[in-house]
Amino acid sequence: MSRPRTRAPGTRTPAALAVPALLAIAFLLLPLIGILARTQWHQLGSHLTDPEVTEALRLSLLVSFCALGLSLVLGVPLAWLLARVRFPGKALVRSLVLLPMVLPPTVGGVALLLGFGRRGLLGPWLENDLGIVLPFHTSGAVVAATFVAMPFLIISLEGTLAGLRPSYEETAASLGASPARVFFTVTLPLVAPGLAAGAALTWARALGEFGATITFAGNLSGTTQTLPLDVYLLLQEQPEAATSVSLLLLAVATAVLVALRGRWTGATAARRVNANDRRADENGKLTEDATDAPVATAAEPPAPQQQSSLHAEVTGFNDITLDAPAGTTVAVVGPNGAGKTTLLRALLGLTPRAHAQLHLGGTDVTNLPPHRRGVAWVPQDGALFPHLTALANTAYGLRTQGVSRAEARRTAQDWLDRLGVGHLARRKPSQLSGGQAQRIALARALAARPRLLLLDEPLAALDQTTRAQVRHTLRTHLQGFGGVCLLVTHDPVEAISLGDRVLVLVDGRTLQYDTPGEVSRHPRSPWVARMLGRNAWPGTASSDATLSLTGGGTLVVADPPAEGTDALAIITPEAVSLHRERPAGSPRNNWPGTVREITAAGSRLRVVIASDEVPDLVAEITPQAAGDLQLADGTAVWTSVKATEITVVTP
C-alpha cells in the first residue's frame, strides 16, 4: 500500500515567483529548441563534414586548446598569488582579471589591437624584434581566445585554493616535504576538481569565442576562421548549415556543463574537502569503531627513535626559554589566547608572530626551513590528507626522506599496526572516526622519525571513552619516543598523566615549568589551580597567621608567609568538610553558605558552596555523605577547612 505523498508546510511556491521563473526558463530554452526544431537532421552529416566546416572545427580545436594551455601557464600562478599572497593592489588585480568577462568581446578585440596590434603599444616591438605578428594569424586567434577565457580558470582556481585549509600543506611540510613536493602531492590533488572545472569552462569559452577574435585576428579561412566565425558566415549563405554547426557547438557546451554540474566557481572542491572534514568531526563524536583491533604496543615495544634534546628561545608574541632532555613529554597548558599554538608554530617556523632559536639534540635548526627541521606537527584535527589512504598518509614522511615506496609502505603498515589501526590502512580519512583519524595522524608523525613532536590538543575531538583509549595509546608511544614532545592540552588529566613536565603559559610567557606533581602541589596561579580542580584564593599575609583574601574574608593558615606577602591559598576539594550545623571542633576556618550546584565527578560529587564571608568554594564528597546531609541546590550548610590542609604558594 503506497503512502500518500505529503508536502512539508510552507513549501508551496508562490505564484508571483513561479510565473516569472517559468517565463525565465522558457526564455532561455526557446532559442535552443529553435535550433533543434530547425535542424535538417538528414543533412546534418553532410553539413558537418563539409571541408570548410571541418577546417573551421580543426582550427577551433587548435585555438581553444592552445588558449587553454596558455591560460594554465599564466593563470595558475596568478590564481595562486591571488589566493595566497598579500600584496598591495590585490583588489585591483582581481577586478582586472574579471574585466574580460564583463567587457563586450568586440571591445576586448579593439583593446587587443591597441595593445598587441601592428600599430599597438607592443606590436612594433613584437614584429621588429621577435618577428611575431598577431593579427590575421592563428596565434592572434589564440591570444583573443585566451584574453576572454583565462578569467574563468583564475576565478575558479582562486576560489578552490582559498577554500583549502592551510593545515594540510603545513603538516606536509612538517613531515619533510619541500614546497615543490607539497604543491604536487598535496595542493594540486586537493584543488584538482576546481582546476579541472575551471579548465573545462576556459576551454568551452575559448571554443565559442567570436567577437574579440574577429576584431583582433580577422576572419581568414584556414587561419583565423574558427567555428563561431564560420556560423556567422554560413548564416548569410546557407542558414541550414549554420543551424547544424550551431547544434554542434550547443552539444559541446551542454556536455561541458553537464560534466561540471555547477562547479564553475570551484566552491564544490573546497566544499568536498570541508565536507570530509565535517564528516570526520561528526565521527569524532562517535565512539571507536567496534572492529578496532587492540593496541599492539604491550606485546611489541615501539622501535627506538633518535634521541634529541630541546633548547628553544622564543621571542615575539611568546617570550620563553625552554629546555627539555631527550625523551621528555612537555604538557603545554594555559588559558585561551595564552600563546600555546603560537609557540608550536614558532618552533615549526610557520608564523611571523614569534621567532624561535631552536636547538634539537645540539644541532641549531633555527635557519632551516620548516621541512628540514625534523619537527613533526599533528594539528588539532589531524589534517590527514583527504585524497590519500591511511597507509599512504602514514608513508608520506618516509617518502619525503627518499625511502623507497615498498619500504615506506611496509614501515607505515608497521606503525599503523602498533597503534591498533592496521586494519584501516586502505581507508580514506572520510571513512574514519575521529579517534581512528587521531591514531593515524600520530602514526604518520611518528613514522617520519622527527626530533621534535608537536601535538596540538590531540584528544580534543574525542568523547570520554575514546579519549581514555587514545590517551593510553599515546602514553605508550610517547614512552618510546626519543625526541621531545610538546603536547598542548586544556585537559588537566591529560597534562598530569601524559606530561613529564608541565609548561604553564600566560600572555605568551612561562608562568610555571615543573613536574606534574610540583605543579599540582604548588600551582602558581588561580587559573592553574582551578584547571587542576583545586580551590585557589589569592590574598595577602597578615600579622596573625591569616591571609586577607582578595575576594573578601580571612583564612587561618598553618604556615603563613611574612606579613604583607601576596600569596595563593590552595585548598583541595577533598579537604573541605560540609556540615548541617556549625562544627564545634578545632578548625577555625568555618563559614556558613548555601549549596549552589552539585555535579558528578567520577564516583564522587562536587558541591559548589556560595558564601557571604568567603569566595565560592568547591567541596568533593561521596554520594553517601551527600545523602546523609540531604544536600540539594539551595540547602544551607557550614563549610570547614583545617589550617593544616591549606597550601600557601607565594609567587
Ligand X SMILES: Nc1ncnc2c1ncn2[C@@H]1O[C@H](COP(=O)(O)OP(=O)(O)OP(=O)(O)O)[C@@H](O)[C@H]1O
- Using CB under 6 A as the binding rule, whether residue 338 contacts ligand X is answered as yes
Residue with Cβ nearer ligand X (454 or 569): 454
Residues 303-322 that bind ligand X (CB under 6 A): 317
Q: Which is nearer to ligand X, 340 or 451 (CB)?
A: 340
Q: Which sign does the torsion angle of CA 386, 391, 395, 399 carry?
A: negative
Least gap, CB of 317 to ligand X (angstroms): 6
3-state secondary structure of 91: helix
63 counts as binding ligand X under rule CB under 6 A: no
Stretch that binds ligand X, among 104-112, 129-137, 337-345, 554-562 (CB under 6 A): 337-345
- Beta strand 546-549 with 329-333 is unpaired
Binding region for ligand X (CB under 6 A) out of 322-330, 334-342, 470-478, 637-645? 334-342
Indicate whether 336 belongs to the interface with ligand X (CB under 6 A). yes
Q: Is the dihedral of CA 523, 527, 530, 532 positive or negative?
A: negative
Answer yes or no whether residue 205 interacts with ligand X by CB under 6 A.
no
- Phi, then psi, of 584 in degrees rounded to 5: -95, -25
Grid cell at residue 138: 592563428
Decide: is 464 part of the binding site for ligand X (CB under 6 A). no
Contacts of 466 (CB under 8 A, 6+ apart): 287, 288, 433, 434, 435
β partners of residue 609: 595, 617
Q: Which residues contact 455 (CB under 8 A, 6 or more apart)?
A: 378, 442, 445, 474, 485, 486, 487, 488
Stretch that binds ligand X, among 196-204, 290-298, 332-340, 636-644 (CB under 6 A): 332-340
Q: Is 337 in the site for ligand X (CB under 6 A)?
A: yes
| Smallest distance, ligand X to C-beta of residue 528, A | 14
Q: Residue 384's closest CA among 180, 164, 168, 161? A: 168
- Residue 162 CB, shortest distance to ligand X, in Å, is 16
Contact pick of 306, 307, 341, 357 for ligand X (by CB under 6 A): 341
Nearest to ligand X of 288, 381 (CB atom): 381
3-state secondary structure of 506: strand
Span from 121-129, 333-341, 415-423, 559-567 in contact with ligand X (CB under 6 A): 333-341
Q: Does 454 bind ligand X (CB under 6 A)?
A: no
User: CB of residue 460 vs ligand X: minimum separation in angstroms?
Assistant: 10
Question: Is the separation of the CB atoms in 615 and 596 below 8 Å?
Answer: no
Query: How many residues in total does the chain contain?
Result: 651
Examine residue 340 and tell whether it contacts ligand X (CB under 6 A): yes
Q: Which lies closer to ligand X via its Cβ, residue 292 or residue 456?
A: 456
Stretch that binds ligand X, among 155-163, 296-304, 331-339, 583-591 (CB under 6 A): 331-339
Largest CA distance in the chain: 115
The answer to whether residue 342 forms part of the interface with ligand X (CB under 6 A) is: yes
What is the dihedral sign for C-alpha 300, 306, 311, 312?
Answer: negative
Distance CA 499, CA 516 (A): 7
* 286 vs 460 by CB, closer to ligand X: 460
Unique residue bearing C-alpha cell 565536507: 275
Q: Report, in Å, the least distance between residue 337 CB and ligand X.
A: 4
Which CB atom, from 150 or from 173, has the smaller least distance to ligand X? 173
Q: How many residues bind ligand X (CB under 6 A)?
A: 9
Residue 334: CB minimum distance to ligand X, A: 5
Q: Which is nearer to ligand X, 76 or 454 (CB)?
A: 454
- Rounded CA gap, 522 and 512, in Å? 10
For residue 339, state whether it binds ligand X (rule: CB under 6 A). yes
* CB under 8 A, 24+ apart: contacts of 161-166: 161/79, 161/80, 161/83, 161/84, 161/187, 161/191, 161/194, 162/83, 162/270, 163/266, 163/267, 163/269, 163/270, 163/271, 163/273, 163/274, 164/190, 164/191, 164/270, 164/273, 165/273, 165/274, 165/277, 165/383
Helix (H) or strand (E) holding 568: strand 566-571
Instruction: Note the helical H segments in 261-389.
Output: 267-284, 340-348
Task: Tell the smallest beta-carbon distance from residue 351 to ligand X (Å).
Answer: 7
166 binds ligand X (CB under 6 A): no
Selected range binding ligand X among 292-300, 330-338, 549-557, 602-610, rule: CB under 6 A: 330-338
Residue 317 or 638 having the CB closest to ligand X: 317
| 336 or 624: CB nearest ligand X | 336
By CB under 6 A, name the binding residues for ligand X.
317, 334, 336-342
